[in-house]
Structure 1
Amino acid sequence: MTEHLENPLTKIRLKPVTPTPETLVAIVQPDGGPTLSVGQNSAGGTHMQTHTKKDRGFTLVELLIVIVILGILATVTVFAVRGITNKGQESACAADKKTIEVAAEAYMAQVGEYPATMQAMVDEGLLRSADSGNYTYALAGQSYTLTGAGECAAATTTAAPVTT
């Protein structure tokens, strides 16, 4: 029996195999490509099956590289979201502060003096609620101090009426 039969045009070698009921012939690619097996099934018909050398799963190194990359992406995402949340909180504090300052100045324009409490601004319809939670309001003589509390602890404003 001949070792290999080679077609000179396609460079495909036919490799006879040991005759078994399952396999009749195997075609081997010269470059190590897929191998095609032609065989006979139990019903007497023929079947073809392609085998490649790369019909395996992922290696442990490939899986570890993917896990490391996913970990890096997760870390970057967490820090990015945390930064967005902090900026959102800073913006909310600035908006609350500006709202109370504008309400105090509007009260001064309507009544002629700064309000004694934030509740006075609510009573005039200038604020929706006296319980800001983020700021405390204190009147001292003719000026008021707006002090940040809780998440807005870094913000403090003191204002006095403008005299001309």
Structure 2
Amino acid sequence: MNNEKGFTLIEMLVVLLIISVLLLITIPNVTKNNEVIDTKSCAAFKSLVESQTQVYKIEKGQLPVEINDLVTEGYLSETKCPNGTEIHLLDDGSVSSEVPSTN
């Protein structure tokens, strides 16, 4: 009686087939949700910038003129969303990802 321990080729192929099927199911779901994650992270970053703008106003007595004032004073570390969208401050202290008009 030969008692060799190990896996047969068929067992290894079955395991590889199962792993391949799981990857085919999960990869499209992960890539589809990346856009949702980027959108939600940008909304969260906008909320952070608005709250830091209010903190700046409380401490300095006025709203910052531009978003770079928040960076230079140490309230923020950057001015872009995690997805790369540039953030802009409006005159009332709110935040927009659109370029402000100069009317």
Is the shorter-chain TM-score for this pair beyond 0.5, marking a shared fold? yes
Match of 1:101 in 2: 50
Q: Relative contact order: is structure 1 or structure 2 higher (C-alpha 8 Å, sep ≥ 6)?
A: 2
Instruction: Return the index of the structure with the highest Cα Rg.
Output: 1
The alpha carbon displacement at 1:84 in A equals 3.1
Distance 2:66 2:74 in 1: 13
TM-score by length of 1: 0.38
Per-residue deviation, residues 18-71 of structure 1 (Å, max 9, x unmatched): xxxxxxxxxxxxxxxxxxxxxxxxxxxxxxxxxxxxxxxxxxxxxxxx8xxx5x
Match of 2:74 in 1: 125
Q: Determine what percentage of the aligned residue pairs are the same residue.
A: 23
Distance 2:43 2:75 in 1: 18
Amino acid at match of 1:95: A
The alpha carbon displacement at 1:82 in A equals 2.1
Match of 1:58 in 2: none
Q: Which runs of 4+ in 1 moved over 6 A?
A: none
Q: Which runs of 5+ in 1 are unaligned?
A: 1-65, 150-164
Per residue, is there more helix in 1 or in 2? Answer: 2
| Superposed CA RMSD | 2.8
Distance 2:86 2:44 in 1: 12
Per-residue deviation, residues 67-93 of structure 1 (Å, max 9, x unmatched): xxx5xx72x333311233233213321
Aligned 8 A contact 1:107 1:121 in 2: yes
Which structure 2 residues correspond to residues 1-164 of structure 1 after superposition, within 5 A? 70=21, 74=24, 76-129=25-78, 131-132=79-80, 133-140=84-91, 143-148=92-97
Per residue, is there more strand in 1 or in 2? Answer: 1
Q: Which runs of 5+ in 2 are unaligned?
A: 1-16, 99-103
Amino acid at match of 1:115: P
Mark the CA change 1:90 to 1:119 in structure 2 (over 3 Å): closer, same or farther.
same
Other structure's SS at 1:113 match = coil
TM-score by length of 2: 0.56
The alpha carbon displacement at 1:110 in A equals 0.7
